[in-house]
Amino acid sequence: MNSTPEPSRKQLKHTALYGVPILCIFLLIPAIFSEWWNDEVAPWLWGLLGFWVVLIVCFKTWKRQQRLHEKAEE
């Protein structure tokens, strides 16, 4: 008997969408203190973080346009 409710689909999308950039930020923190980490790993993390931010902005813009289009049809 599990009393905890199952997460909704919206909560799972939210976690997936915002979890990756947050993880990248936490992984970039050691780049401040380690030369190897900064030279080898940080560029990949910055690229992933930038890609994900662009993805979030595009997704939010698309959802907003979709909602506006639905309201215009009503």
**Mean predicted confidence (pLDDT) in 69-73:** 85
3-state secondary structure of 28: helix
Q: Is the pTM of this model over 0.75?
A: no
Residues whose CB is less than 8 angstroms from the CB of residue 15 and which lie 6 or more positions away in sequence, other chains included: 7
Q: Is the pLDDT of residue 1 over 70?
A: no
Read off the DSSP letter of residue 68. Answer: H
| Helix (H/G/I), strand (E/B), else coil: 7 | coil
Q: Sorting pLDDT into bands at 50, 70 and 90, what band is 74? A: confident
Q: Exposed (0-12), middle (13-18) or buried (19+): which is 20, by Cβ within 10 Å?
A: middle
Mean pLDDT of 15-34: 77
Q: How does residue 25 score in pLDDT terms, banded at 50, 70 and 90?
A: confident
- Local confidence band at 16 (pLDDT 50, 70, 90 cut-offs): confident
Residue ranges per domain, the chain? 11-73
